[in-house]
């Protein structure tokens, strides 16, 4: 079963579950929504450009990096994820994150997106392990809070480097590592090979290994722990459509069964998220509402009709009214 907790240096993470950093998803509003559902041990920011973070400190104007790094007190413990390939800039960005109050810093060596890889960021660095080591040593020397990293298994099936990455993490003084076992070439296609997570766990002796990839249900999370012996699980895309998954995992860990959301629960979480976007005055609130309409209406009767209504409007208040009106009709019809 899922461990009740694990530690990243001095940080106690309980339960042993982590929200994966996801671009365009894990902003402060979504993270607080997840934390409010209970059960997630550690939150992570969207991956953020190290150059953007350094420029943020120099600029007097609000920047995208500032939005990415904003968090509320109830989000602790929380880790800031950075990407980049310049060791000096990465170290300075990590210091900014420490000064900002984050509990840990995580380095992204996993993003497969072309525009990131072309800048030698994300999974692009998996083909230059000497530079990976230099980045890790610079960042480790720059901060006092825990340093972790997330990476893919390798560039492709012929260039697997996850065991070397694990050894580098230990040698450079990191406190935990997370691996998505697909390669950069795979993107999100095919199956995540959990055998690679098991091999990494067997090869790493002194720090926790967090497993990530193809966890869609609490049963999947427990199966990953059983098959790989990893210390914790990281949930990504499944949390978008099912923000309750961390609560479900914790219930399954404790009792062997778990609660499943009703249509009313889906209405309430959709209303809560949309209301939080408006209260926070999120710059792209309407875009987020349309994006998350796809996630949150999963399994909702006549959900396509609600999505069409949301997509047709460009005013946040009107969209929220659409949600209220739709569910008022659907829930009344179901109760009749």
User: Which candidate in 111, 172, 230, 322 is catalytic?
Assistant: 111
CA 223 vs CA 17, 168, 203, 215, 241: distances in Å: 14, 28, 20, 9, 21
Q: For residue 77, say if its preceding peptide bond is cis, omega within 30 degrees of 0.
A: yes
Identify the helix (H) or strand (E) that includes residue 13: strand 11-13
* 40 has catalytic annotation: no
- Residues 181, 197: contact at Cβ < 8 Å? yes
Nearest to 234 by CA among 204, 209, 205, 202: 209
Strands (E) across 187-245 are located at 209-212, 232-235
Strands (E) across 133-288 are located at 147-152, 176-180, 209-212, 232-235
Strands (E) across 192-327 are located at 209-212, 232-235
Nearest to 143 by CA among 84, 101, 179: 101
**Residues annotated catalytic, as ranges:** 111
């Amino acid at each position: 079963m899922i461990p009740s907790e694990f530690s990243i240096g001095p940080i106690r993470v309980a339960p042993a579950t982590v929200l994966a950093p996801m671009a365009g998803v894990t902003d402060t509003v979504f993270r607080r929504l997840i934390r409010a559902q209970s059960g997630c041990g550690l939150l992570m920011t969207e991956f953020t450009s190290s150059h953007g973070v350094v420029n943020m400190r120099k600029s007097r104007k609000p920047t995208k990096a500032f939005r990415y790094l904003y968090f509320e007190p109830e989000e602790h413990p929380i880790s800031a994820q950075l990407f980049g390939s310049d060791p000096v800039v990465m170290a300075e960005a990590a210091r900014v994150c420490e000064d900002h109050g984050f509990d840990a810093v995580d380095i992204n060596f996993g993003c497969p997106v072309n525009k990131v890889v072309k800048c030698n960021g994300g999974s692009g660095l998996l083909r230059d392990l000497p530079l990976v080591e230099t980045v890790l040593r610079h960042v480790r020397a720059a901060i006092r809070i825990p340093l972790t990293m997330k990476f893919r298994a390798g560039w492709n099936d012929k260039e697997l480097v996850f065991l070397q990455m694990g050894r580098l993490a230990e040698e450079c003084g990191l406190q935990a590592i997370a691996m998505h076992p697909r390669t950069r070439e795979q993107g999100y296609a095919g199956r995540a090979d959990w055998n690679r997570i098991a091999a990494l766990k067997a090869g790493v002796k002194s720090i926790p290994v967090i497993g990530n990839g193809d966890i869609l249900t609490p049963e999947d999370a427990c199966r990953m722990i059983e098959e790989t012996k990893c210390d914790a699980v990281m949930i990504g895309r499944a949390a978008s459509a099912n923000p309750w998954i961390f609560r479900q995992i914790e219930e399954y860990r404790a009792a062997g069964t778990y609660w499943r959301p009703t249509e009313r629960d889906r209405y309430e979480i959709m209303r809560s998220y949309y209301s939080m976007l408006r209260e926070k005055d999120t710059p792209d609130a309407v875009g987020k509402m349309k994006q998350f309409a796809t996630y949150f209406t999963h399994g909702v009767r006549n959900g396509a009709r609600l999505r069409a209504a949301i997509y047709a409007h460009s005013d946040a208040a009107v969209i929220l009214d659409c949600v209220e009106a739709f569910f008022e009709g659907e829930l009344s019809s179901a109760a009749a």
